[in-house]
Amino acid sequence: MKIIKLVVFVIVITGLYASSVYAEFTVSAEVTRSAVFKTDMKTVADYFRNVKVFEKNFPGIISVQELGGGESKWVYEVDAPLSSPVRMPFILKEVVSSDDYIVFETIKSEPDYFRSSARIIALGENETRLSITIKIKMVRESGSDVHFMAPLLGEKFISKEMKKDITEALETFLSRSKKEI
C-alpha cells in the first residue's frame, strides 16, 4: 500500500512540475470604440481601408508594410513600464471588404493574434458612424517573456492593463482620424 501511495505521489508531483514548466502565459484584450465623421460613408470606408492610416495615427503601430494581395505586415509595440518595449509583428490580410464592413486579421493565429474590424453606418448624407474593434492576443512560454513582473501580477492583471492601453490608443486613433478626414 505504501508503494502505491508513493507512486501516486510521484505521479502527482511530476504532473504539477510538468504543468508549471510547460505552461503558457497568455494576455489578451478586445476594445470597441466609435466616432461620428462629418462626411459620407464611402469617404470613411476608403480612408480606413488604407492600412497606412493605422501606421500614421494609431499609437503603438510603428510600421505597416503592404505586401500585396490584400496582405500587410504590421508591427505593434507595447510599451511596458520598467521594461523594454515588446514588438509584435503580424501578417494581416483584409479578410472582409465591403461598403460597410472591413476586417484585417492575422493569417496565422498562433502564437499571437491581431484583428481590426470596422463597421461603417451612414447616419445621413454627410454623417457616418464608424465602430472599430481591436482584438489582440499574445502568448509566451512564460510571463517573464512579457515583463519581469508579469508572473507575479498574473495574466488577468496584464490583460486588464493591455485593454486600458489599447482603449487609449484607439480613442487617440479615432480622434486623429476625425481631424484628418
pLDDT at 81: 60
- Burial (CB < 10 A; 0-12, 13-18, 19+), residue 21, is exposed
Q: What is the DSSP string of 30-67?
A: EEEEEEEESS-HHHHHHHHH-THHHHHHSTTEEEEEEE
Q: Is 105 helix (H, G, I), strand (E, B) or coil?
A: strand
From first to last of its 181 residues, the chain has per-residue pLDDT tens of 444 433 333 343 444 444 445 569 998 999 999 999 999 999 999 999 999 999 999 999 999 999 999 999 999 987 766 667 888 899 999 999 899 999 999 998 778 899 999 999 999 999 999 999 999 998 988 888 777 778 888 889 889 988 999 999 999 999 999 999 8
| Number of Cβ atoms within 10 Å of the Cβ of 38 | 10
pLDDT of residue 117: 96
Measured between alpha carbons, how far is 75 from 89 in angstroms, rounded to an integer?
A: 4
Contact 92, 74 (CB under 8 A): yes
Residue range 24-180, CATH number: 3.30.530.20
